[in-house]
């Protein structure tokens, strides 16, 4: 097993009703006034907003609200919120939402102390300080609630890039799976596919990280089983809770131990989709890209995929496992090719150029322009 | 899945040669002078001591040494080391050893600020402050390198009791699996059995924590596979690394998520063995107690053990799984009954009384005096 360092200081409060402890946790951390970051307003209809406000009031924490973070969150919105945070002199950021809201909040937490936060995403500025971040998760998917990563889209530059810093781990994240019971099934699926993709980005990197791979197989099977259960019964609280926790573990560091930092070709490719078609859900896009990537790479390196076929799918061949993977995605009503996602063939060349603009595409196969063209055609 | 909170701030540095980073980490934490706690001297023959000292010197950290911590570490030794730490005015504790050394170091870190550290073990004093703790692990077993627990034996009172505090998580733990290559196989087995027992204490508590149980099954299988590999080849570095990391995960909080705090009857029982026979290795004792406990409890509640039989052993019955469990322990050359451990039948009543002295024995079955007698006879 490869050398690694592991550090994850985020405190998780998990369970029905856990939001009520939020204010006390912020109090313990000395917070006086926070920027409450949120999305389009669904938290006002499902009762989450009210629970959060009640907890802040009980602990006498002031807040100012920033609404309107969208899927594939933008740099423009982040900049607007940084200005608000500075003007309102907050001393913390409170994200109430899914991955987009938490990622935007991380960018605000870092950008509060930077001249231009985008320079940090470009690797030209270093995050040396950040506002403390708290999160209330409303959809399990990105794992952002327990890591130090942020992914933001610069619409002008058509770049969806990421920033990592140990200063951006949330201090406390609240995960109440019961608030996810009202999610449409397609959003649950998008979250499940995103979580599975995080594990899969690591899975094929090194067959010697046996402890991690055994756990990753267990997590993949759990995510699939729980999603199937939720298709039958969206109110299945056991399935909702186990899916939520699996999604957090999928990208909190544990799933990547000994796996060389992961491959991340599929994420680089899907991020290009989002940059050009902002309405494509990240998880659904990954559900198209990953099977295509496995098909493409396993033709060159079939042995690499045998343990996955066996331990995740109980399959005796990679092609059999791949067929079951695609059937499962189709059974969930999710896209299985680029056309389903609404991507036009005439845009494939532009997509390839956006993909090539990222800092390297993949490790197992380092994709050239021609290889990206071939992969995109396979996915189309 | 039950509600839970999770928090584990220990930084892990894992891999061959990782000890060289220790001094820098202590420097980063502002340490000037530490108490170096160690066991009987094996670290001087296998090169670990030299690596540690070199790293301290490079980072200009002073130290004073406390040697002689033994298996089933004693309160007397802890008190002696607290006095040394206070006299030498150290500002940190550095544990270089296995679970006994790390547990003793935690007791020193807490006791540095207490009138009588044993009062904290009795639950009559609260740990409000502790010296920062650093650890270099030399045998993977107890998981103490990544949790806030300490188990110490009060020889006079014949009590082997534990203390838990969030202040006792090591700041940094170094795990270099290559230094464990020289361990006798029986010590490797003791460590593996201890790690397995930690997972098993949680395993049977609630069948709804599906994500955790799937990971726990994966970890149990990995620990067994890696131990088998090390029986064949003690220098198998892949097996050594995966066993080491699995043992850490077995008691760093992850394996207990959603599992009601664990049962811990077997640990309470084995701790009584150690209190009366200090030379019994904790892991070997657990290897006798756990199969007996499963046999005893599964006669009353067979359904509870079916997922374990199926998912860990691929067995269609609990009795079949139990037979394989015992065969495996025997194949490793470890004790399978109390007589093998050197326990006399005439001591069973005394053992029962020591066991009853602990704060409750078990949750799935809360053992009465008669039930303990029955279980001990089964194990005898």
> For residue B312, which residues of chain A lie inside 8 Å, CB to CB?
none
CB contact under 8 A, A16 and B7: no
Separation between Cα atoms, residue A230 and residue A243, nearest integer Å: 9
Separation between Cα atoms, residue B199 and residue B256, nearest integer Å: 8
In tens, the pLDDT along B206-227 reads 999 999 999 999 999 999 999 9
Query: What is the mean pLDDT of the segment spanning B234-253?
Result: 97
Query: Alpha helix (H) ranges present in chain A?
Result: 22-28, 42-45, 48-58, 75-87, 99-111, 117-121, 185-203, 210-232, 237-249, 265-276, 282-300, 306-313, 318-331, 348-356, 369-379
Separation between Cα atoms, residue B246 and residue B14, nearest integer Å: 12
> For residue B5, which residues of chain A lie inside 8 Å, CB to CB?
11-14
Low-confidence ranges of chain A (pLDDT < 50): none
* Tokens standing for residue A103: 């990622």
Residue of B nearest to A17 (CA): B3
> For residue B219, which residues of chain A lie inside 8 Å, CB to CB?
211, 214-215
Q: How far is CA A35 from CA A46, A93, B159, B300, in A?
A: 21, 5, 51, 55
Query: How would residue B158 be classed by pLDDT, with cut points 50, 70 and 90?
Result: confident
Which residue is it, tokens 């939720």? A230
φ, ψ of residue A8 in degrees (nearest 5)? -145, 100
Q: How far is CA B141 from CA B188, B196, B243, B336, in A?
A: 8, 9, 9, 19
Query: How would residue B268 be classed by pLDDT, with cut points 50, 70 and 90?
Result: very high
Nearest-Cα distance to chain B for A354, in Å, is 37
* A357: number of Cβ within 10 Å: 15
* Tokens standing for residue A327: 């059937």
Which helix (H) or strand (E) element contains residue A60?
none
Please, are residues B165 and B8 in contact by the beta-carbon 8 Å criterion? no
CB contact under 8 A, B218 and A215: yes
Give B240's strand partners: none
> For residue A218, which residues of chain B lie inside 8 Å, CB to CB?
211, 214-215, 217-218
CB contact under 8 A, B208 and A238: yes
CB contact under 8 A, A219 and B211: yes
CB contact under 8 A, A215 and B212: no
> For residue A3, which residues of chain B lie inside 8 Å, CB to CB?
14-18
Q: How far is CA B311 from CA B60, B208, B318, in A?
A: 51, 15, 11
CB contact under 8 A, B1 and A238: yes
pLDDT value of position B159: 87
CB contact under 8 A, B12 and A5: yes
Torsion of CA A85, A90, A91, A93, to 10 degrees: -60
More confident site: A136 or B41: A136
Pick B15's closest partner by Cβ from A4, A238, A249: A4
Q: How far is CA B123 from CA B116, B119, B120, B360, in A?
A: 12, 6, 5, 14
Please, are residues B199 and B40 in contact by the beta-carbon 8 Å criterion? no
Q: E strands within B171-256?
A: 172-175
Measured CB to CB, residues of chain B less than 8 Å from chain A are 1-18, 177, 208-212, 214-215, 217-219, 221-222, 225-226, 238, 241-242, 245-246, 249, 254, 257-258
Give B172's strand partners: B11, B134
In tens, the pLDDT along B91-125 reads 999 999 999 999 999 999 999 999 999 999 999 99
Pick B257's closest partner by Cβ from A218, A238, A245: A245
pLDDT value of position B274: 84
pLDDT value of position B64: 98
Q: What percent of chain B has pLDDT above 70?
A: 100
> For residue A254, which residues of chain B lie inside 8 Å, CB to CB?
249, 254
φ, ψ of residue A14 in degrees (nearest 5)? -120, 135
Pick A3's closest partner by Cβ from B11, B18, B249: B18
pLDDT value of position A115: 97
> For residue B177, which residues of chain A lie inside 8 Å, CB to CB?
1
For the cut 90, the answer to whether the pLDDT of residue B276 exceeds it is no
Please, are residues A244 and A175 in contact by the beta-carbon 8 Å criterion? yes
Measured CB to CB, residues of chain A less than 8 Å from chain B are 1-18, 177, 208-212, 214-215, 217-219, 221-222, 225-226, 238, 241-242, 245-246, 249, 254, 257-258
Return the DSSP state at A9: E
Which residue is it, tokens 């890039």? A161
CB contact under 8 A, A13 and B1: no
Residue of B nearest to A224 (CA): B211
CB contact under 8 A, B225 and A211: no
Domains of chain A and any CATH numbers: 11-179 (3.40.50.1970), 185-379 (1.20.1090.10)
pLDDT value of position B357: 84
Return the DSSP state at A134: E
Separation between Cα atoms, residue A134 and residue A105, nearest integer Å: 9
Please, are residues B142 and B263 in contact by the beta-carbon 8 Å criterion? no
Give CA A176 to chain center in angstroms.
17
* Tokens standing for residue A54: 């009640």
> For residue A238, which residues of chain B lie inside 8 Å, CB to CB?
1, 208, 210
The string of DSSP codes covering B237-302 is HHHHHHHHHHHHHTTSSGGGTTTTT---HHHHHHHHHHHH-TTS-HHHHHHHHHHHHHHHHHHH-G
Separation between Cα atoms, residue A210 and residue A208, nearest integer Å: 5
Please, are residues B79 and B117 in contact by the beta-carbon 8 Å criterion? yes
In tens, the pLDDT along B118-142 reads 999 999 999 999 999 999 999 999 9
CB contact under 8 A, B11 and A12: no
In tens, the pLDDT along B343-366 reads 999 999 999 999 998 778 999 999
Q: How far is CA B352 from CA B68, B273, B347, B360, in A?
A: 30, 10, 9, 13
Separation between Cα atoms, residue A206 and residue A1, nearest integer Å: 8
Separation between Cα atoms, residue B151 and residue B160, nearest integer Å: 7
The ipTM, to two decimals, is 0.96
Pick A9's closest partner by Cβ from B9, B217, B221: B9
pLDDT value of position B283: 95
Q: Please give the mean pLDDT across all residues of chain B.
A: 96
pLDDT value of position B304: 97
pTM of the model: 0.97
> For residue B3, which residues of chain A lie inside 8 Å, CB to CB?
14-18
Task: Tell me the pairing of strands A133-137 and A172-175.
Answer: parallel
Nearest-Cα distance to chain B for A143, in Å, is 15
């Amino acid at each position: 097993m490869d050398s690694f360092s592991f550090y994850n200081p985020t405190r998780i409060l998990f369970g029905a009703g856990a939001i009520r402890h939020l204010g006390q946790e912020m109090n313990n951390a000395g917070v006086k006034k926070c920027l409450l970051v949120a999305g389009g307003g669904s938290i006002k209809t499902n009762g989450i907003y009210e629970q959060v406000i009640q907890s802040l009031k009980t602990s006498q924490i002031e807040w100012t609200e920033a609404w309107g973070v969208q899927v594939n969150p933008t740099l423009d919105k982040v900049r607007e919120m940084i200005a608000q945070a500075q003007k309102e002199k907050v001393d913390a950021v409170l994200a109430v939402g899914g991955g987009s809201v938490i990622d935007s909040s991380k960018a605000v937490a870092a950008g509060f102390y930077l001249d231009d936060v985008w320079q940090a995403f470009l690797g030209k500025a270093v995050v040396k300080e950040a506002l403390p971040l708290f999160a209330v998760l409303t959809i399990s998917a990105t794992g952002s609630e327990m890591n130090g990563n942020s992914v933001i889209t610069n619409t002008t530059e058509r770049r969806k890039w990421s920033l990592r810093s140990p200063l951006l781990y949330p201090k406390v994240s609240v995960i109440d799976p019961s608030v996810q019971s009202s999610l449409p099934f397609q959003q649950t699926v998008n979250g499940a596919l995103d979580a599975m993709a995080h594990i899969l980005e690591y899975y094929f990197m090194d067959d010697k990280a046996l402890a991690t791979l055994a756990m990753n197989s267990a997590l993949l099977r759990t995510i699939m089983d729980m999603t199937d259960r939720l298709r039958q019964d969206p109110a299945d609280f056991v399935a909702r809770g186990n899916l939520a926790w699996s999604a957090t573990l999928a990208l909190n560091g544990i799933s990547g131990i000994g796996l060389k930092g992961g491959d991340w070709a599929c994420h680089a490719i899907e991020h290009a989709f989002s940059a050009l078609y902002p309405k494509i859900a990240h998880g659904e896009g990954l559900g198209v890209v990953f099977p295509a990537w496995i098909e493409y790479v396993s033709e060159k390196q079939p042995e690499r995929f045998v343990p996955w076929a066996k331990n995740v799918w109980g399959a005796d061949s990679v092609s059999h496992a791949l067929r079951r993977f695609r059937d499962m995605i189709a059974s969930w009503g999710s896209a299985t090719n680029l056309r389903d996602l609404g991507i036009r063939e005439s845009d494939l060349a532009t997509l390839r150029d956006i993909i090539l603009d990222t800092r390297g595409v993949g490790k197992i196969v380092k994709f050239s322009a021609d290889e990206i063209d071939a992969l995109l055609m396979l996915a189309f």
